Amino acid sequence: MSAGGVSVSLVDPQLADAAAALVEKLVGDGVASALARQDATLWGPDAQSEASRRLSWVSLHESSRPLVDRLTALRGDLHAEGVDRVVLAGMGGSSLAPEVICHTRSGSAVGGEHPITVLDTTDPGQVSDALAGDLSRTVLVVSSKSGGTVETDSQRRTFAQVFAANGIDAASRMVVVTDPGTKLEELAGNLGYRATIEADPDVGGRYSALTAFGLVPSALAGVDVGALLGEAAAAAPALAADSADNPAVLLGAALAAAHNAGAEKVVLADSGSGLIGFGDWAEQLIAESTGKQGLGLLPVVVENPDAPGFVDHGSDATVVTIGPAVGNAQIAAEGTLGGQFLLWETAVALAGRLIGINPFDQPDVESAKQATRDLLAEADSGSAPSKDEAPVLVDGSVEVRGGPWLGSPGTLAEAIQTLVNAAPDHGYVAVQAYLDRLDDASAIVLRAEVAARTGLQTTFGWGPRFLHSTGQYHKGGHQNGVFLQITGSVADDLAIPDQPFTFGQLQHAQAAGDAQVLTDHGRPVLRVHLADRAAGLVALANAVTEVTR
């Protein structure tokens, strides 16, 4: 049944039975309507203070309305000047939603009617490629809630310099989205940037799809964001109802019931929803919201409902289609894009209450950022150069590093096998590629191959993008992951204006810093460095075909 353009079906009768008691509890306690009233007490006293500053997302379909005309006018002005190429600098909640929105409305992940270049990377080659586009037509949207995210700041500095070097008034091409009162807002004012659009400070990054963070880049790329808000508005009454038919109540209860029964992985596959890349957006929402206190839901985004991890999932995973139920789907979530944003936000907030965590903080994200800063500072001071330890193995163009758990592997395949052997039953493998997600896109094949050969749920993330998404879960959630980290050589590094480090050094420090933090959490991290990216990716793809479990 579709309520306001969204629906959730609990296809698996056993899961529906397990969820029934939680549905009844949510309905009986009036939780959905309390959430719609922004009741900050729903997650207990410890979460109340944070929740009281994080619940405005429930009514963004109304409060974001005034942005629509303003953004239409800004787009018109830019177009009148021939500026129609949108590049977005932003991480996690500041870029995942606009990417889905633009791709979905274009009907394509590349180009299409509403093209957008999302730069959520520190890969020097990928940043250079974005700089090589037609700058005379480019506007850079600089999106950061905190105003202090290093990746975003580095991209802003670099674009400003390159605009100027090309005789373009950089300030006229900068549109900033940030919270009121940030350093970024102050800087944009001082430098006379084209526009600064304040976002609602009472909405966290991963719930911000329908704030200025989602709407500004999308509207500048030509998306009808008023229609998107309309979709959310249509779904809102059904999602606020204290009813066993409320799709968010069903979804939240089912995810929590599955979690509490040991199925903490949520495998997401698109089954023809027409939404492009929705799983990547939902991934951050689910992982960062729930993965803490050794609990939470691990999102595993897979290629399609026939993919390894979905067709052959074990009792540790719940399989969900975005779109109609097909194959062995246990849950199907269908609906409009605006409606699905609100559906999943509501469901995850409800699941958080049932699991017993605060869905609005991200206590473990800072540790990797700090480790990165420490490594960069060490390198800058020259006191303790941030060099990697010697590899335990060099196999062709691939250097392999790990901890004592790794022993002395003879080949890359053996090293990966040792990593996989270190995963507990019902553990998972996380493949984390600090590479160029366009030029090194073939790395993605590793996910399905590892999953098929090991039977372990396997995630894939581009670094540093995933640090702002599943990064929280890997450190704060169920501690049963093993990590295959991939880095690559940098042919042409790129300086970051007025910073003592380059993009290549930043990327390297992010990988090394995160590996350090995961290791400190007792997790096995296999670090694979591709001295030659193309040859190394082929070697890796071959090596994983030898892995078994």
Ligand X SMILES: O=P(O)(O)OC[C@H]1O[C@](O)(CO)[C@@H](O)[C@@H]1O
For ligand X, the binding residues (CB under 6 A) are: 91-94, 144-146, 149, 152, 205-206, 288, 362, 365, 468
CB of 14 to ligand X, least distance (A): 34
Assigned token pair, 413: 């395949």
Strand ranges for 145-212 from DSSP E: 174-178, 195-198
Helix, strand or coil, per DSSP, at residue 184: helix
- Closer to ligand X at the Cβ: 205 or 339? 205
CB of 92 to ligand X, least distance (A): 3
- Cβ atoms 340, 6 nearer than 8 A: yes
- Cβ atoms 520, 477 nearer than 8 A: no
- Closer to ligand X at the Cβ: 212 or 412? 212
- Closer to ligand X at the Cβ: 460 or 473? 473
- Closer to ligand X at the Cβ: 149 or 454? 149
Assigned token pair, 254: 């089912």
**Short-list 374, 404, 401, 406, CA closest to 389:** 401
Strand ranges for 59-110 from DSSP E: 85-89
CB of 72 to ligand X, least distance (A): 24
Question: What is the chain's Cα-based Rg?
Answer: 22
Assigned token pair, 461: 């993330």
Residue 521 DSSP class: T
- Cβ atoms 218, 114 nearer than 8 A: yes
- Which residues are 495's β-sheet partners? 502
Which H/E stretch holds residue 48? helix 45-51
CB of 164 to ligand X, least distance (A): 24
- Distance CA(313)–CA(537), nearest Å, equals 27
Tell me phi and psi for residue 367, to 5 degrees.
-60, -40
Region of residue 388 (phi > 0: left; psi between -120 and 50: alpha; otherwise: beta): beta
**Tokens 């306001």 -> residue:** 4
- Closer to ligand X at the Cβ: 354 or 365? 365
- Closer to ligand X at the Cβ: 150 or 416? 150
CB of 369 to ligand X, least distance (A): 7
CB of 121 to ligand X, least distance (A): 13
CB of 146 to ligand X, least distance (A): 3
CB of 438 to ligand X, least distance (A): 21
- Distance CA(348)–CA(344), nearest Å, equals 6
- Closer to ligand X at the Cβ: 47 or 269? 47
CB of 35 to ligand X, least distance (A): 20
- Closer to ligand X at the Cβ: 214 or 402? 214
- Cβ atoms 290, 297 nearer than 8 A: yes
Assigned token pair, 424: 């507990």
- Closer to ligand X at the Cβ: 152 or 340? 152
- Distance CA(63)–CA(371), nearest Å, equals 38
